[in-house]
Amino acid sequence: MEKRELLYTGKAKSVFATPDSDYLIIEFRDDTSAFNGQKLEQLARKGKVNNIFNTYIMQRLEQAGIATHQVKQLSDTESLVRRLQMIPVECVVRNYAAGSLVKRLGVEEGLPLHPPTFELFLKSDALGDPMINEAHALAFGWATHEQLVRMQALSMQVNDVLANMFDAAGMMLVDFKLEFGLFHGEILLGDEFSPDGCRLWDKATRKKLDKDRFRQGLGGVVEAYEEVGHRLGIKFD
C-alpha cells in the first residue's frame, strides 16, 4: 500500500495516510523518550527492533483471539495498520509493583500483585498522562462504560497470553500499557506492544530488559530488547 502524507509525528512513531482511509502506515523511529519527553535520544536500530517485535506480539495476540489493528509488516521499520479512532485512555496492567505505582503507594519494587491491577491514564502529553478513573472517562466523554468494560477485559486477556509467553521464555511481565481504538464500531488493540511500553525482568536475576534501562541510564537498551526477542524466537538480522 502506497505511503501518502504524514498525518502525525509522535514521540517514537510517525503515522502516514494511505490511499484507503481505513488504513495507515506506522513508521517506528529510533527516537526514544522518557519522563514525558524530557529525556530524548536516538538509539540505533530501535525502530526496526520494535517494529519486528510488535509484529510478532500482535500476531500472537491475534492467534489467541484478540483483535488488533495490525495488518502486516511492510518493511524493517514500517507496518500497515487499520486506522482507529483512538480512545485517549491508556490502560495499564501490573503483575508486580514498579514505576509510578511504587512512587504513588510507597510499596517495594517487585511486590507481586494478586490479582493484577488495572489502571487508567489520560493520554495527554500536556498534562503528563495523569491517572484517571472510570467516572472521569464517563464525565468527560473519553470512553463509554461499555468501552471501558471491554478495554479492561481485553487488557486482562492480553496479560494472560503474554505473561505466560514471557514466563515460558524466562521473563517476568511486570507491567504494560495498551491503547485501544474504534474500527467501524469495534474495539481493537492499537498502537504497539514492545519493550518501550512494558516492563520485563529476567526471572532468575531480575535484570531489567525494557525501557527502564533507558530511563535509568543503564545502557544496552536495544541489546536488551533484542535479547527479549531472541528468547521468544524472533529474528531481527
The residues that touch ligand UDP, with contacts defined as CB under 6 A, are 92, 98-101, 129, 175-177, 197-199, 211
The residue within the footprint of ligand ADP, chosen from 49, 57, 84, 89 (CB under 6 A), is 84
- Amino acid identity, residue 219? G
The beta-strand segments (E) located in the chain are 6-9, 13-17, 23-28, 31-34, 39-42, 70-73, 78-82, 85-86, 89-96, 112-122, 131-132, 171-178, 180-183, 186-189, 198-202
Q: 110 vs 128, which CB is nearer to ligand ADP?
A: 128
92 binds, among ligand ADP, ligand UDP, none (CB under 5 to 8 A by kind): ligand UDP
86 binds, among ligand UDP, ligand ADP, none (CB under 5 to 8 A by kind): ligand ADP
Q: Are 95 and 172 in contact (CB under 8 A)?
A: yes
Q: How far is the CB of 194 from ligand ADP (least distance, A)?
A: 10
Closest CA to 193 of 208, 178, 183: 178
Q: How far is the CB of 92 from ligand ADP (least distance, A)?
A: 14
How far apart (Å, rounded) are the C-alpha atoms in residues 142 and 153?
Answer: 18
143 binds ligand ADP (CB under 6 A): no
The residue within the footprint of ligand ADP, chosen from 69, 94, 208, 213 (CB under 6 A), is 69
Binding track over 11-30 against ligand ADP, x by CB under 6 A:
xxx-x--------x------
Q: 10 vs 110, which CB is nearer to ligand ADP?
A: 10
Q: Are 46 and 226 in contact (CB under 8 A)?
A: no
Beta bridge partners of 215: none
Q: Are 121 and 92 in contact (CB under 8 A)?
A: yes
Interface contacts to ligand ADP, rule CB under 6 A: 8, 10-13, 15, 24, 69, 81-84, 86, 179, 181, 190-191
